[in-house]
């Protein structure tokens, strides 16, 4: 038994708990989550995809839409050209197969470094209610790709747009079962108004967030 295990064992015994209660604790937590009545929600008389795009724009993101993933390189190239941005970027591995060179882009599947200007990511899901992206951390979902570059390009399948944050957490529990190391919520560009109530973009992360909704 390691020193850590020994200390935890003594703490459990001092609290009158059995040594191995992990499984029971997990079952109790899951039972509470499953049986907990959801709080009241406002009436939502809107469709998720149009609402999501509308709220993204309200949060100062820009939005584009394509019919399939094969159109993504062209859409990203157009966005970079319009904003006079570099044609090089880092992306999540799931997008490595796309024909980036055919669109004149040099895109590498790797975590972002401090000098990358553009990061391209997917999302776990997106929240239509407020135009928020929900991203998880993982071996092939590098958090640095959405946090370090000045420009974050987020690829959002229309099928992964849910109505509310509650729906997002439900989806995470259903598909993953447990929490990853990080769950990041992105609502437009990073911003602060701490100094004299003057809004400054890019204070703690990207100056720009560009969302591309993929219909197929």
Beta bridge partner(s), residue 201: 191
For residue range 87-102, list pLDDT tens digits in order. Answer: 999 999 999 999 999 9
Q: How many residues does the chain have?
A: 216
Question: Any long-range contacts for 189-193 (C-beta under 8 Å, 24+ apart)?
Answer: 189/60, 189/61, 191/60
Write the Ramachandran bin of 194: left for phi over 0, alpha for psi from -120 to 50, otherwise beta: alpha
pTM beyond cutoff 0.85: no
- Domains present along the chain, CATH in parentheses: 3-35 (no CATH), 48-214 (3.40.50.10420)
Residues 6+ apart with CB under 8 A from 33: 173
Per-residue confidence in pLDDT tens, the chain, 216 aa: 788 888 888 887 888 776 556 666 777 877 877 777 777 877 888 999 999 999 999 999 999 999 999 999 999 999 999 999 999 999 999 999 999 999 999 999 999 988 999 999 999 999 999 999 999 999 999 999 999 999 999 999 999 999 999 999 999 989 998 889 999 999 999 888 887 788 788 777 899 999 999 997
């Amino acid at each position: 038994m390691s020193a850590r295990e020994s200390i935890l064992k003594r703490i459990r015994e001092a609290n009158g708990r059995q040594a191995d209660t992990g499984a029971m604790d997990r079952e109790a937590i899951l039972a509470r989550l499953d049986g907990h009545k959801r709080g009241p929600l406002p009436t939502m008389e809107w469709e998720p995809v149009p609402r999501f795009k509308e709220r993204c724009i309200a949060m100062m993101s820009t939005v584009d839409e394509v019919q399939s993933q094969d159109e993504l390189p062209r859409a990203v190239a157009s966005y970079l050209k319009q904003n006079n941005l570099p044609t090089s970027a880092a992306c999540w591995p799931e997008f490595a197969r796309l024909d980036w060179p055919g669109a004149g882009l040099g895109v590498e599947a790797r975590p972002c470094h401090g000098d990358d200007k553009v990061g391209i990511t997917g999302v776990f899901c997106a929240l239509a209610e407020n135009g928020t992206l929900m991203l998880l951390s993982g071996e092939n979902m590098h958090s640095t790709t959405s946090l370090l570059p000045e420009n974050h390009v987020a690829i959002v399948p229309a099928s992964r747009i849910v109505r509310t944050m509650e729906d997002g957490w439900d989806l995470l529990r259903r598909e993953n079962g447990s929490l990853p190391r990080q769950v990041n919520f992105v609502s437009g560009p990073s911003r602060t108004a701490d100094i004299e109530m003057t809004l400054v973009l890019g204070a703690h992360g990207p100056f720009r967030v560009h969302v591309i909704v993929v219909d197929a």
